[in-house]
Amino acid sequence: MTRDVEPLLINWWKAKNEAVARLAADGRSDTGAQARDSRHMQSIAMFVKQMFVDAGLDEPDVKVDSIIPGYYRRSKNWDVVATHKGHLVGVVELKSQASSPGNNANNRIEEAIGSAVDVKAVQEETGAFGKLGVWAAWCMTFNRDAESGDPIQLTRMQKAKIRFPLDDLAFKNMTYAYQYAIALERLIARKVYDAGWMVLTWVNDDGTVDYVEPIPTATAETLAIKIEERVKFAIQALREE
């Protein structure tokens, strides 16, 4: 089944622009306030929820914006939480970056790693999530025009602080969008996350919305395939419950 991403991103841009206008009218134009106004992510959350339902879960078993226990913190909000017969099937984290990536990109990647470590520690130490273990996905929607597209250069001060060579060639000529792509590709390859999805999106001069999915292993289609595999496994494994 081909999933139509373009209408989803049209909604994302519409909600994001409405949030900017709404906050500006209230005298709050900072990017932190915009990020906390999460209405622009609702359509993406429902889009991912539908993947679980299409794969075979009952709709009431797939919740958007839910809280589950943490191990290194009391609890964690996940954007999509899917269960079957009381057992965790999957959790999905949805993030977006519409502006100021220089202030936030590293933090987002660190948060992604921490969230995966945290939820797996809960299961390993307590078994709170049932018999299936933890299955997690991380998704990023990035505004291509939040940066110039030119490689990020270290400042003279940053270069003076380097204590070991920065010799990972993957990060040579890196942009923030490219750093997200490398991170997500590696998070999946090293099994930190079981699946992911990354979208680069922008608005053309004529007002139309466009996008690319830069990671072949982390597209809407691959995410749906991975979710379908997980749901089929869960239904089969819990058939006697």
CB 211 within 8 A of CB 38: no
- Whole-model pTM: value is 0.91
Distance, in Å, from the CA atom of 95 to the CA atom of 183, rounded to the nearest integer, reads: 14
Q: What is the mean pLDDT of residues 209-224?
A: 96
CB contact set of 42 (below 8 Å; sequence gap of 6+): 15, 64
Task: Using a pLDDT cut of 90, give the percent of the chain over it.
Answer: 82
Exposure string (b/e) for 134-162, b if CB count within 10 Å is 16 or more? bbbbbbbbbbbebbeeeebeeeeeeeeee
What pLDDT sits at residue 30? Answer: 54
Q: What is the pLDDT of residue 102?
A: 85
